[in-house]
Structure 1
Amino acid sequence: MKKNIQIVIQSLLLLAAMVFVTSCEDFLDVNENPNDPPISTPNLTLPVAQQHFANLNGTEMTYLGNYFVYNWAVPSNWSANQEMLRYTITNGFYTMIFEESYGEIFRNLTYIETYEDEEGIVDYSAYKIISQVLKGFQYQYLVDLYGDVPYTEANQRAENVTPIYDDAETVYRSVIDSLTAAADLAMNMPNTYQDPGTADIMFGGDMELWAQFANTVKLRMLLRFSDTGQDNYIQEQIALIDANGAGYIDADVVANPGYSSGTDQQSPFWDYVGYDEGGNRQDRNRLTVATDYTISYLEDTNDPRLEYIYAPSADEGEYKGVYQSVELPGSGFTETLLSRVGPGLLKGPDQDQPIMLLAEALFLQSEAVVRGYIDGGDAEAKALYNEAITASFDYLGVEESVSDYYDQAIENVGWDASSDKIEAIITQKWVALNGTSSIESWVELTRTGFPADLPTSNSSTRGAGVYPVGLVYPASEYSRNSNNVPAKTTDDAFTQYPFWKGQN
């Protein structure tokens, strides 16, 4: 029986605790005297760490990903997001992904991991396991996007404010080992452990669900190795997943501490791309519109998700997009004539913040079957693929028949009609993650080259068909950790592929 992952926490006590810990964030500053520890405990710090984690993944990372996989554009009456449209990736571009990961998420999670109950009364092992999994999730993206990152010496606060940068593959393998250990421990908790309960705004303290999540993140990381000739390593690691008995996630992984329409209490994505607490449209809601390519793709494949991923234009009531460019014609492409973010993504101020959709997990398993990493033949891979599309329909609230869609004899839609099964999986993943985890779609584009005919911005400084494959370390790192941060330029953002891809 599936466990309900979508937990909505309404406890006023928890919200009060979150406010308290947020007000105490100065105590967690890396420059603080380590001999004068912060006044907090894991049950107060965990929801704050998870909230920072949900905010970063649900706002900046999602927004960037949607531009780099050509889901979103800017209408002609707005001058915005020009760095993204020009692919101007410098050490001042989207620095919050790196800085907030270390400055907020890892800082709080490391505090939990290293916390010791001085009286030896409370067993915080569950909190430490949760911290390991969340760290693993975030480190994966830091390596995918930046390459070498601080790891072994990171997060030591004042004891080491200039950590070394560890080799990208070494970090990846270490994270995989950490996820393995976390899942094993989560499935064998001691009787003495303190149940996080409502302090865990993702799974409500259900450690089996944390084991499933750890396994699923690990599978995603293992598939990054698929073209490196390390199939034996992948299969050995999947055998360890099988051994812990938890399996993979069987519902959407989300966070929700009790989001509401109140000031500073709205769901991150809703507040970022939707409406403020007074119900007024945010500027980003007005300047974020569909691309012509994505609208056409959904229409050409008879995909009913079109009306959920995007909204009809305000003036014409039609689904219309525009190409990515900083110089659009003066008429015909204003915001009221184009489709904006749709109702399947913007559901309300109290909506859950998705972290990892079930659709993605099922696509991962389907790919693993196709590649021979998980037992099963074509029928099993097809079943997982169709289940993934079904899960995407469910998340968006699509009422139309899902089988009418995936039974079509259209390449990269119907399984049997698709000549390249990996291309079909990644293309459908791109559709399913539109508006949610599109940072993953960008990384998958780098890994696989799919969707194969995805356009690039008309304003790209690199020419047609050249995508960015990573980010540049922020200027703050060159300022405070200059002896360790690797040299990386704007050019490297297009030529320095992740270790699992190699140089092209």
Structure 2
Amino acid sequence: MKNNYIKYKALMFSAMVFLAFGCKKTLDINVSPNNPLIETTTPEVLFPSAVASTAGRVGGDLTILGGIWSQYYTQANASNQYKTIDSYALTRNDFNGSYNELFSGALADYQLAINLAKAKSDWRYNLMATVMKAYTYQVLVDLYDKVPYTEALKGVDNLQPKFDDGYTIYVGLLAEINDALAKDYTSVALSSDQKKTDFLFGGDMSLWTKFANTLKLKMYLRMVNAKPAEAQAGITKLYTDGANFLTTNAGFATFEGTPDNSNPFYEYNIRRLNTTTNLRASKTFTSWLTTNNDPRVNYYFGTSNPTPMNQGDYTATATQQPTYASATVFAQTAKDPVWFISAAESYLMQAEALERYYGGTGAQAMYQNGVRAAFTQVGLATTSVPAAYLVYTGTFDQKLEKIIVQKWASFAGSHSLEGFFEQERTGYPKTSAVYSTDASYIPGQWVYSKNGVTSGLFPKRLVFPASSRDRNSNTPAEVPITTKVWWGK
């Protein structure tokens, strides 16, 4: 059964390629039965294809971006692959592939799956595709601030969709999730074949309900700075309605480990580049782990005593930094999972919500559950959690810092993008007034890249890609990557 499941996933990756690039052949007289017309497709084909597309980008090149900007790892000084990321020198020519694939691949497939599911009142696939559409859109909004939404995904009916502001998109997505949750999606179970199309939960709609609620909680928390009243109202309604949240990881967890069916971070960074040494341990992260005697350092770096590089110090010579040549690489395997929302993240979000709106009642238990789940996530026993991590006292800001820093420590790997987003939202981990070579440097505080080109300002977004600017006249004027997105602190 497991082998069939993995083979099915491989077929869905192939389907993803076809659906993203092959629809222009739908007018061919001779149509291969292996490449059916888009008009005859079904949610069963579209949904797993779209999930693979989302996982491939969020867990691939965007994980490289998020991991460098979250200071888990940094560009090696003996190579050039990621210098523009580590120096904050990205332009409209960077990350076009992710933007294009998430729109023309993932989101287009989700929307078509939703349309087809609604047409036959299949509320199961409607919920699944709606939640994943909202998750994928949320990532794009958090990266670009404005993207096409109300006029998007209409194909040839609108090739120049307007860009909507992030707040409008969030409100729209939350309404879409609520509408999908209001339907009767549990009366009919997925068949055994249909369950194979659900890479996240194997057709368990109760888990999709929890994923939907947890995604809503996440989006409301993102709104706390810009729309505090709406954030509070949304979160308190979740609790008043008795919403259940994730207690398990949600993501693409099973990869075969072969070319084109591997963890996408591994595929991008190691297999395609034919090297394991492009990303080296950042002192920002390793100093925090080792100072706290955190055993996860072995999981993340393969050693309890990693040799790090200072963030963005890739121009240092062997004379200036003789240890850089043997700096520890970030540990990766071809079978690592891609998490969309982890159990640890779910618990820690609940801890923050309870602190903000319920006087902290129950927050300590959720915080400690989150810390323990983060260790379980990497195969460690909960008894290995440092005792200091479980202490939960202080002011609201002190507790929030503990929550977010523990989140940051749990995101390294194919969930790295969230570390960047959460620091932008909360300011935690704190930024350092000195570089990490200074004797007064505090372990874990983020430092401005040694070769940064933004005059001391940290990046907060991506600029609109050339692929959009060249084809869509509605693309907004360029905004510096140091400008916060709509929900930023």
Q: What's the TM-score bracket when you normalise by the shorter of the two chains?
A: 0.7 to 0.9
Equivalent position of 1:478 in the other structure: 469
Kept in 2, the 8 Å contact 1:363–1:384? The answer is yes
Kept in 2, the 8 Å contact 1:318–1:339? The answer is no
The whole-number CA distance in structure 2 between the counterparts of 1:460 and 1:336 is 21
Equivalent position of 2:393 in the other structure: 416
The whole-number CA distance in structure 2 between the counterparts of 1:460 and 1:126 is 47
Residues 233-382 of structure 1 aligned to structure 2 (within 5 Å): 233-242=230-239, 245-256=242-253, 259-275=255-271, 282-283=274-275, 285-312=276-303, 318-323=305-310, 324-331=312-319, 332=321, 337-342=326-331, 346=332, 348-372=333-357, 375=358, 377=360, 380-382=362-364
Structure 1 residue 255: Cα displacement? 1.4
1:431 to 396, 405, 409: 409
The whole-number CA distance in structure 2 between the counterparts of 1:192 and 1:67 is 42
Structure 1 residue 93: Cα displacement? 2.0
* Distance of aligned partners of 1:391 and 1:333 in 2 relative to their CA distance in 1, 3 Å threshold: farther
In structure 2, what residue type is equivalent to 1:469?
A: K
Residues 14-163 of structure 1 aligned to structure 2 (within 5 Å): 15-16=10-11, 19=14, 22-23=17-18, 25-28=20-23, 37-115=38-116, 123-163=121-161
1:469 aligns with 2:460: yes
SS for the counterpart of 2:482 is helix
Give aligned-pair identity as a percent.
24
Structure 1 residue 339: Cα displacement? 1.5
Instruction: String of CA shifts for 1:106-161, please: whole Å, max 9, x gaps.
Output: 111112122279xx8x6533112211111111111222221121001101111111
Q: TM-score, normalised by structure 1?
A: 0.83
Kept in 1, the 8 Å contact 2:309–2:324? The answer is no
* Distance of aligned partners of 1:171 and 1:183 in 2 relative to their CA distance in 1, 3 Å threshold: same
SS for the counterpart of 1:143 is helix
Kept in 2, the 8 Å contact 1:469–1:493? The answer is yes
Structure 1 residue 24: Cα displacement? 5.0
Equivalent position of 2:198 in the other structure: 200
* Distance of aligned partners of 1:293 and 1:19 in 2 relative to their CA distance in 1, 3 Å threshold: closer
In structure 1, what residue type is equivalent to 2:487?
A: W
RMSD: 2.9
* Distance of aligned partners of 1:126 and 1:416 in 2 relative to their CA distance in 1, 3 Å threshold: same
Provide structure 2 residue ranges, at least 5 long, that are not aligned to the other structure.
29-36, 432-445
Equivalent position of 2:215 in the other structure: 217
In structure 2, what residue type is equivalent to 1:325?
A: D
Instruction: String of CA shifts for 1:45-97, please: whole Å, max 9, x gaps.
Output: 21111111111111111110111121111222222311112211211122233
The whole-number CA distance in structure 1 between the counterparts of 2:488 and 2:245 is 25
Kept in 2, the 8 Å contact 1:132–1:179? The answer is yes
Kept in 1, the 8 Å contact 2:338–2:415? The answer is no
1:455 aligns with 2:450: no
The whole-number CA distance in structure 2 between the counterparts of 1:126 and 1:216 is 18
SS for the counterpart of 2:5 is coil
Kept in 2, the 8 Å contact 1:446–1:469? The answer is yes
* Distance of aligned partners of 1:218 and 1:32 in 2 relative to their CA distance in 1, 3 Å threshold: farther
SS for the counterpart of 2:217 is helix
Kept in 2, the 8 Å contact 1:255–1:354? The answer is yes
The whole-number CA distance in structure 2 between the counterparts of 1:71 and 1:13 is 33
Kept in 1, the 8 Å contact 2:376–2:382? The answer is no
The whole-number CA distance in structure 2 between the counterparts of 1:32 and 1:170 is 37
The whole-number CA distance in structure 1 between the counterparts of 2:291 and 2:149 is 45
* Distance of aligned partners of 1:205 and 1:165 in 2 relative to their CA distance in 1, 3 Å threshold: same
The whole-number CA distance in structure 2 between the counterparts of 1:22 and 1:75 is 32
Structure 1 residue 38: Cα displacement? 3.6
SS for the counterpart of 2:182 is helix
Instruction: String of CA shifts for 1:453-502, please: whole Å, max 9, x gaps.
Output: 311210001233x21111111112111111x111014xx2112x222237
* Distance of aligned partners of 1:127 and 1:452 in 2 relative to their CA distance in 1, 3 Å threshold: same
In structure 2, what residue type is equivalent to 1:393?
A: F
SS for the counterpart of 1:248 is coil
* Distance of aligned partners of 1:213 and 1:9 in 2 relative to their CA distance in 1, 3 Å threshold: farther
* Distance of aligned partners of 1:242 and 1:88 in 2 relative to their CA distance in 1, 3 Å threshold: same
Provide structure 1 residue ranges, at least 5 long, that are not aligned to the other structure.
1-6
The whole-number CA distance in structure 1 between the counterparts of 2:18 and 2:265 is 23
The whole-number CA distance in structure 2 between the counterparts of 1:207 and 1:382 is 29
Q: TM-score, normalised by structure 2?
A: 0.86
Equivalent position of 2:186 in the other structure: 189
In structure 1, what residue type is equivalent to 2:150?
A: T
Equivalent position of 1:397 in the other structure: 379
Equivalent position of 1:3 in the other structure: none
Kept in 1, the 8 Å contact 2:281–2:327? The answer is yes
The whole-number CA distance in structure 1 between the counterparts of 2:394 and 2:239 is 31
Kept in 2, the 8 Å contact 1:42–1:127? The answer is yes
Kept in 1, the 8 Å contact 2:145–2:486? The answer is yes
Instruction: String of CA shifts for 1:2-56, please: whole Å, max 9, x gaps.
Output: xxxxx996264565465356445444459989xx844422111211111111111
SS for the counterpart of 1:66 is helix
The whole-number CA distance in structure 1 between the counterparts of 2:7 and 2:401 is 47
Structure 1 residue 325: Cα displacement? 2.2
Structure 1 residue 275: Cα displacement? 5.0
Instruction: String of CA shifts for 1:264-321, please: whole Å, max 9, x gaps.
Output: 2223233334557xxxx942x3111111121111111221111111123xxxx94111
The whole-number CA distance in structure 2 between the counterparts of 1:240 and 1:289 is 44
The whole-number CA distance in structure 2 between the counterparts of 1:18 and 1:99 is 17
SS for the counterpart of 2:251 is strand
Equivalent position of 2:435 in the other structure: none
Kept in 2, the 8 Å contact 1:184–1:211? The answer is no
In structure 2, what residue type is equivalent to 1:341?
A: F
The whole-number CA distance in structure 1 between the counterparts of 2:42 and 2:94 is 35
Structure 1 residue 202: Cα displacement? 1.2
Equivalent position of 2:434 in the other structure: none
The whole-number CA distance in structure 2 between the counterparts of 1:192 and 1:319 is 49
The whole-number CA distance in structure 1 between the counterparts of 2:99 and 2:353 is 30
The whole-number CA distance in structure 1 between the counterparts of 2:296 and 2:487 is 32
